[in-house]
């Protein structure tokens, strides 16, 4: 959303439009509510810290009980879809709760809070966690995107990305320490944020457009799919779809190098068809979420959340830094 002039001008505009139509959708995809046109920080640091604390408490309660209702109000978008489906599946398998529950701890929090007008508002929390991959002795940090759709709504986490410290983006900040949001249609980036979901889905499906750098979340995934596509008595097909509306809309921050870090989502279907007498690959999570009867065909549905470094226009390509995906449904036939 474009920035308006001086603060005094904004106040006059805000007063003049206070009785205007409640909602108007701007070209940038931001929603302006009740004439709230002034560019302001999405949250204070203390508000951001409280949101992180509230999320962690709700997450731990839900994980301990395997009850999706306990954190449903603190997750949304792709993380919400993944989290809620995962908890439903585990609740079926372990109705008494999580016998191996270990409370999540998020510490050493740093916040990138953008200044913007209207709603939704959002910010990024960069935290240390007690979920490091110990077997690899690899230190990791969690990037969480908090979103709030209105003054009367809770802060919810829409994206979670796990990165090593050297993968962490360097967000551009102004002299007061506020971050800068990226326009969904940013013309100076190699791929505008609004096009990332559809282009990534197309790339994963067909290898085009070739706007993505090779890596574990791009070319390596396609190679793995190609190897598993045909097996003795079994065919596996994949279909990828854009997922970029409403709570799944992309969000991004400008980085110091003139590019942007963008969080976006996609949906994936994996269809497994077997010859008569060949057993379908059905694990406990799939069985818990499955509808229908799987005789010769099983279709798994997943939601995938990505964080990407998008460079300015030029010769460079988009680097997908991290990706989490989770099973959200299954259908047998």
Its pTM surpasses 0.75: yes
Percent pLDDT > 90 in the chain is: 83
Question: pLDDT-based confidence at 230, cuts 50/70/90?
Answer: confident
- SS3 of residue 45 by DSSP: helix
Q: Report whether 272 contacts 282 (CB < 8 A).
A: no
Question: pLDDT-based confidence at 19, cuts 50/70/90?
Answer: very low
Q: Does 27 score more than 60 pLDDT?
A: no
State residue 309's pLDDT score: 98
Taking the C-alpha atoms of residue 262 and residue 257, their distance in angstroms, rounded to an integer, is: 14
- Reported as a single tens digit per residue, the pLDDT across 135-193 is 556 789 999 999 999 999 999 999 999 999 999 999 999 999 999 999 999 999 999 99
Q: Does 31 score more than 70 pLDDT?
A: no
Q: Does 197 score more than 60 pLDDT?
A: yes
Kindly report the average pLDDT of the chain as a whole number: 89
Domain definitions of the chain by residue range: 1-38, 40-332
- Reported as a single tens digit per residue, the pLDDT across 74-122 is 999 999 999 999 999 999 999 999 999 999 999 999 999 999 999 999 9
Q: What are the DSSP calls for 191-237, one per residue?
A: S-HHHHHHHHHHHHHHS-S--B--STTTHHHHHHHHHHSEETTEEEE
Q: Does 32 score more than 60 pLDDT?
A: no
State residue 187's pLDDT score: 95
Q: Does 16 score more than 60 pLDDT?
A: no
The b/e string for 77-111 (b: 16+ C-beta within 10 A; e otherwise) is bbbbbbbbbbbbbbbeeeeeebeeeeeeebeebeb
Q: Does 50 score more than 90 pLDDT?
A: yes
State residue 49's pLDDT score: 98
State residue 133's pLDDT score: 57
Q: Does 73 score more than 70 pLDDT?
A: yes
Return the DSSP state at 47: H
Taking the C-alpha atoms of residue 261 and residue 113, their distance in angstroms, rounded to an integer, is: 14
Taking the C-alpha atoms of residue 37 and residue 39, their distance in angstroms, rounded to an integer, is: 6
State residue 21's pLDDT score: 30
């Amino acid at each position: 959303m474009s920035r308006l002039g001086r603060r005094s001008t904004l106040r006059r505009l805000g007063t003049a439009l206070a009785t205007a139509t409640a909602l108007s959708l701007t070209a940038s995809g931001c929603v302006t509510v009740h004439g709230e046109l002034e560019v302001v920080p999405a949250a204070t640091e203390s508000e951001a810290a409280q949101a992180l604390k509230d999320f962690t408490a709700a997450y731990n309660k839900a994980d301990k009980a395997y009850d999706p209702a306990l954190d449903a109000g603190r997750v949304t978008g792709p993380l919400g879809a993944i989290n809620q489906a995962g908890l439903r599946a585990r609740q079926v398998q372990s109705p008494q709760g999580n016998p191996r529950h270990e409370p999540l701890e998020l510490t050493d929090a740093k916040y990138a809070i953008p200044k913007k007008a209207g709603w939704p508002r959002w910010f990024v929390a960069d935290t240390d966690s007690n979920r490091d991959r110990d077997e690899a002795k690899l230190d990791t940090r969690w990037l969480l995107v908090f979103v709030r759709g209105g003054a009367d709504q809770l802060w919810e986490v829409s994206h979670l990305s796990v990165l090593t410290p050297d993968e962490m983006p360097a967000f551009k900040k102004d002299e007061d320490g506020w971050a800068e949001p990226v326009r969904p249609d940013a013309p100076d980036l190699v791929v505008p944020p609004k096009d990332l979901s559809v282009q990534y889905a197309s790339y994963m499906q067909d290898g085009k457009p070739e706007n993505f750098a090779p890596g574990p979340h791009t070319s390596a995934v396609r190679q793995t799919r190609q190897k598993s596509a045909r097996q003795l008595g079994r065919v596996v097909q994949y279909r990828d779809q854009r997922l970029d509306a409403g709570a799944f809309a992309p969000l991004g921050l400008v980085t110091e190098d003139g590019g942007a870090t963008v969080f976006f989502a996609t949906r994936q279907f994996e269809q497994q068809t077997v010859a008569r007498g060949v057993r379908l690959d059905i694990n406990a999570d799939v069985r818990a979420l499955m509808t229908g009867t799987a005789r010769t065909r099983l279709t798994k549905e997943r939601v995938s959340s990505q964080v990407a470094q998008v460079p300015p226009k030029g010769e460079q390509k988009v680097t997908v830094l991290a990706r989490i995906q989770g099973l959200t449904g299954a259908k047998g036939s």
